[in-house]
Amino acid sequence: MKKIGIVTITGGLNLGNSLQNYALQVFLRRLGYDPYTLLDRRYCLWYPFQWSDFLRAHPIKRTLALAFNIRSFRTHLFDSLSRQDGYLRFNQHLSFAQSHFVGNQFIQAPGEAFDAFIAGSDQIWNPYYDQPDYMFLTFAPKEKRVSYAASFGSDDMPERMSTRYQKLLSDMNVISVREAAGKRIVSELIGRDVPVLADPTLLLDDADWRAVAKSPHWFSDKPYILTYFLGERSAQLNHVLERRAKSENVEIIHILDKDHPNWYGIGPSEFLYLIANAKAVYTDSFHGTVFSILLRTPFIVCDRIEKGLNAMGSRLDTLLGRFAFASRRRNLALGYDADDLYEMDFSSVEEKLSEERARSAAYLQDALG
């Protein structure tokens, strides 16, 4: 059985990161591979805290500023701790390699060898995130470098990054991307025509996800509408939600709302449960949309309102277009609600998912051997 090392974003308390990592491991095992995720120990939660790694990862000025601003430091620390338990529990479903990174340095554990490495998925190649070179598998021989549904998280490539990305992409052996924009960027930079493949979360079915879903300890049977926003909710959208809550006698649960510790403190398993059991979902998140589709929950995708924040662009266009749900993307900032919120037809979703899973399986088997 071939041993595969996965390199992806693992450092933060990010629901989408955790769930796509889990999904890719499960899918690879079903194809007969033995996958392990490699961690950057400067950021990860599931290894003992190392002050030396922390200080290398965080500029001294930032560390001092946090230390002197006691209130800010306390808030930052306890907000993070309140969310860690759910992620630590979910990480028990994943396999992690002993080999790891500290910065761009690859530390290979004695006796641990890999037949190939996969970069992906998620926004590992976002040029605005200053990603380390190891996201392009620079530590491995070229013949072992494969990407799966890698995302640039952007519709364009900044001119200042073009030369670096040309070199890094040229040195990849096999490439696939997650969005149409990524396909165009790769073509423009290195002249390769690469496939657009499904996010790993789409490779598992609703039964797979319900099997790892978990009810939050505070959950009640009262009907609710769920919101999951990585950007800001507009005041107009909040009014829309308040009106709907009153007219339908439902609760509105805002994931990531720091004013509600229970809502803010959920982990990946609780996130799945809340989407699966919601009457509907309002979101500006790629993975919020993915799981609404997978779990057959009516949803509305709201455009982000912040200037300068990536407005999702090709990520959502590719996803919604794949399932003929382009009409579910709305601009609700003006305060107009979606009268057709519950009018969704999911009957063709499984057929499309089966096609995508077959394409992904064929790609991975060909790339990994």
Residue 110, classed as helix, strand or coil, is coil
User: How does pLDDT run across 255-275, given as a tens digit for each residue?
Assistant: 988 888 888 889 999 999 999
Reply yes or no on whether the pLDDT at 60 is more than 70: no
Domains and CATH numbers, the chain: 3-202+355-368 (3.40.50), 214-338 (3.40.50.2000)
The pLDDT mean for the chain works out to 87
| pLDDT band at 145; cut points 50, 70, 90 | very high
User: pTM to 2 decimals?
Assistant: 0.89
Instruction: Return the residue matching tokens 């499984």.
Output: 350
Reply yes or no on whether the pLDDT at 77 is more than 70: no
Upper half-sphere CA count for residue 205 (Cβ side, 13 Å): 9
User: What is the DSSP secondary structure assignment for residue 109, as one 8-state letter?
Assistant: P
Cβ proximity of 369 and 325 under 8 Å: no
CA dist., res. 41 & res. 86, Å (int): 19
Cβ proximity of 147 and 176 under 8 Å: yes
Instruction: Return the residue matching tokens 């439902």.
Output: 250
Query: Hey, which residues does 146 pair with through a beta bridge?
Result: 118, 174
Q: How many helices (H) and strands (E) does the chain have?
A: 13, 11
- State residue 302's pLDDT score: 87
- State residue 81's pLDDT score: 63
Reply yes or no on whether the pLDDT at 83 is more than 80: no
Measured from the Cβ of residue 309, the count of other Cβ atoms closer than 10 Å reads 12
